[in-house]
Amino acid sequence: MKQQLKNFRDLTPKRRRVLLTALSVVLVLGGVALFASTVRTSAQKKNSCIECHTKLDGPLGEPARLFANDIHKERGLACNDCHGGNPLADDKVAAKSASSGYLGKPKPIDIPSFCGKCHSDASVMKRFNPTLRVDQVQEYYTSVHGNRLKNGDQKVATCASCHGIHGIRPPSDPASTVNALNVAETCGKCHGSADYMQGYQIAHDQYEKYKTSVHAKAIYEKHDLSAPTCNDCHGNHGAVPPGLTSVANVCGQCHGRQSTLFQNSPHKSPFEKANAGECIRCHSNHGIVPPTDEMAGTGPQSVCITCHTNDKGFAAAQQIEEKLGGLTASIHGANQILERAERAGMEVSRPKFELRDALDGLTQARVLVHTASLEELEKAIGPSMEIAGKSYKAGESAFSELNFRRGGLAVSLVFILFLAVLVYLKIKQIEQRDGAVSET
Amino acid sequence: MKIENALNWLDERLGIDAAFALAKKKEVPLHRHSIWYYFGGMTLFLFIVQVTTGILLLLYYRPSAETAFESVQFIVTEVEFGWLIRSVHSWSANLMILALFIHMFSVFFMSGFRPPREITWVTGVLLLFICIFFGFSGYLLPWNKLAYFATKVGTEIAGVVPVVGRFMLRFLRGGDEVTGATLTRFFGFHVAILPAATTLILGIHLLLVQMHGMSVPPSMEDKPQRKMKFFPNFMLRDLIGWILAIGVLAALAAIFPWELGEKADPFAPAPEGIKPEWYFLFMFQTLKYIPAKILAFDGEVLGVLAFGLGGFVWLLIPFINRPTSSPRIKLAVFLFGIFVVAFIVVMTIVGFLA
């Protein structure tokens, strides 16, 4: 240090001035930068809305508490980004002044445009989630909800009714009210309430029926999120009930083959003429249960007999039921004998594996019922019956082989015991002649 | 006359008369524990069954991940009496290990390892280790689901041995995972390396048994010695046991055919409640009970090391319990044997019930 001071003193006065000036500039600039960064940091953290509202109880405090877990907060947005106002102001009046652009709580009728400020603006949304669509508001106004809202009905669902208000989670989050696991319950809050739906003249049992459906079982019991819930058939932002003529298209989104077969079947035209609602005429809509073979027959569970009585269709329905029942019984019989053979220790994995083809054929035949053609049905039933028959024979062969083994074992054991007795007698003979034991 | 000529011809070249004379001279001590002498011969007989059925299986077995399961399936469904050969091979393997355990513990409790039979004991214990490895390697060969996961778990246990564990795991598996390479390798162990090692060690073991004869338990040494001729008296009794063993094997194969299961699928989840073969069960169950951490050490590592050390001590029993050893050491070795038997029996039962 002393040496450095000495070096400084040894400089010419001009050089000393240049050096001191440069040092001062560096110090001043550094100080300014440090101050600026401190101010910015405190400005980012300051949010007087949250500070005050968290201290409040009830509905005024709830938004601040819920917002802690909101996707918008995670993306760096604050209260004023939606509601306006000045979050830096500590004073309530200054924070909510008109000059700060304070909007407050939007009315239901204003909510779509309130959310749409950002969600309908592609340039804004690109900053947060470039893959998110920006036509939700536009689509919303094509829905029954949107149309009624435009006409002044403030009871209908708006963005906040389904997505929640301050604890909004992305739909992929299981905690989200619009996650596939929760959609039906969310819709059911209004559509399942007789009081709320009073005056709309539509049913309010959809949610209750849906809960009993094969689709709900797939979602709630098998956790199969690909199974449909309300919005998969009705749409979400543009939610409308599908018209009778478009039901097949809606169901066909997943059940494509059945839909195509039905469209080309002789049923298509009479269903259209009778305004019969295609798929839902036989399968119902919200409470769809797994289809059974009896649905295609002429028994008490039949859906065919709702239109066919003592006609050609009635006879065809009877035959369809018989063919499906026959194949089911054959597969069941083959499976049973193979299971028994397997339990008896026989190796029957190959015929068991082949029997899967018959099961596939049965599934195929059940789908082909939508053609309403016995010839088409036979194309799947015939080969499957043959496979089931072969598998049954393999089971029978396994049992005759088992019997052969048991018989062979009995004979072998007699021979083995006979041989053992012979050796024993030989020992006795030798020991009687030569003596068995020597002692030392 | 012709037979006599043929025998003379053979005798001149092979010295069979001398062998017959030796066999006639050989005697087996008779006392209340003589029954245990039959288990050595029984183990040997079941080993011969293994070799014979193993060779027959080799005619059809194809050792690769793509073909192994299908070839065993073909053996048990299409090949004439293939089911019998395969089931007898599997059942005989298990009965052989059981007979081997009985033989070994009977020798231990009759102090059959006393001088000059130390090397007979050491070769016997080595044969036990080899047989267990025979079982372990053979279990994988049908390439079914259970075998696949049992091998995975078994080789993982070998992998926890400090220092050499990683090498052992990769050496056994032929890579990091149980794959077709493991199957080919295990096949090599099962039909080439282990049989070669067995032939050598079993040869020494049998030669030593002939040289030193059957050991008499110390408690019987002072009593008058009763003896039975090995040939034909003892040999024919052995033969009755072997004939009955064939009957038992045939009955087991016909009534409880050895299951083939499902083909191994490396991407499928491990089946629930997976257990190794019964002779590994006591070790497997013990490792399950050992806490994850014992002081600063990994519990599983300590368990595996303890079993390794136990096996090594067992191998050296004749050198620990010598005739000159103090009564206290002799008692300790005896109690150790009791503990080992009780431990194996209890943990195996617990393993089955768990």
Question: Which residues have C-beta within 8 Å of that of residue B104, sequence separation ≥ 6?
Answer: B124, B125, B128
Q: List, for residues A361-378, the tens digit of each pLDDT value.
A: 999 999 999 999 999 999
A19 vs A35, residue with greater confidence: A19
Q: Rounded to an integer, what distance in angstroms lies between the CA atom of residue B11 and that of residue A117?
A: 111
Q: Can you give the pLDDT at residue A41?
A: 45
C-beta of residue B165 within 8 angstroms of C-beta of residue B153:
no
Mean pLDDT of chain B: 93
| Stronger pLDDT, B137 or A199, i.e. the higher one | B137
Of A416, A417, A427, the CB nearest to B236: A427
Count of CB atoms situated within 10 Å of the CB of A317: 24
The pTM is what? 0.68
Contact between chains at A347 and B262 (C-beta distance less than 8 A): no
Q: Could you tell me if B55 lies within 8 Å of chain A, comparing CB atoms?
A: no
Sort out which chain A residues have CB atoms less than 8 A from B259's CB and list them: 345
The C-alpha of A355 sits at a distance from chain B's nearest C-alpha, in angstroms, of: 16
* Per-residue pLDDT reduced to its tens digit, B218-241: 988 888 888 999 988 999 999 999
pLDDT at A26: 63
pLDDT over threshold 70, residue B352: yes
Q: What is the mean pLDDT of residues B164-175?
A: 95
- Model pLDDT, residue A385: 97
Q: CA–CA distance from B288 to each of A107, B169, B276, B303 (Å)? A: 64, 20, 13, 10
Residue B24 near residue B227, CB atoms below 8 Å: no
Reported as a single tens digit per residue, the pLDDT across B281-294 is 999 999 999 998 88
**pLDDT level of residue A91 (50, 70, 90 thresholds):** confident
Flag whether pLDDT at A38 surpasses 50: no
Amino acid at position B260, single letter: L
- B192 touches A: beta carbon within 8 Å: no
Shortest CA distance from B250: residue in chain A:
A409
Q: pLDDT band for position A42 (50/70/90)?
A: very low
- In the predicted model, is pLDDT for residue A43 greater than 50? no
Residues 6+ apart with CB under 8 A from B26: B210, B213, B229, B230, B231
Give the Cα separation of B88 and B252 in Å (integer).
Answer: 8
pLDDT in tens, B131-154: 999 999 999 999 999 999 999 999
In chain A, residues with a C-beta closer than 8 Å to the C-beta of B227 are: 437-440
Cα B172–B173–B174 angle (5° rounding)?
95
The C-alpha atoms of residue A355 and residue A267 are separated, in whole angstroms, by 33
- CB-CB contact of B195 with B51 (8 Å): yes
Q: What is the mean pLDDT of residues B27-37?
A: 92
Among A15-24, A81-90, A390-399, the range with the most confident prediction by mean pLDDT is: A390-399
pLDDT grade, residue A8 (50/70/90)?
Answer: low
The answer, for B262 touching chain A at a CB cutoff of 8 Å, is yes
- The ipTM of this complex is 0.86
Question: What is the Cα–Cα distance from B276 to B280, expressed in whole angstroms?
Answer: 6
User: What are the chain A neighbours of B260 within 8 Å (beta carbons)?
Assistant: 347, 349
If contacts are CB pairs under 8 Å, which of residues 381-420 in chain A contact chain B?
405-406, 408-409, 412-413, 416-417, 419-420
HSE (CB half, 13 Å, CA atoms) of B199?
A: 7
Q: What is the mean pLDDT of chain A?
A: 87
The percent of residues in chain A predicted with pLDDT above 70, rounded, is 89
A60 vs A52: CA distance, rounded Å? 10
* CB atoms A347 and B257 under 8 Å: yes
The CB density around residue B27, as the number of other CB atoms within 10 Å, is: 20
Instruction: Tell me whether residues A427 and B259 touch, CB distance under 8 A.
Output: no
3 state SS of B240: helix
Lowest mean pLDDT among A71-75, A221-225, A249-253: A249-253
Mean of the pLDDT values across residues A277-281?
Answer: 84
User: What's the confidence (pLDDT) of residue B306?
Assistant: 94
- Share above pLDDT 90 across residues of chain B, in percent, rounded to a whole number: 78
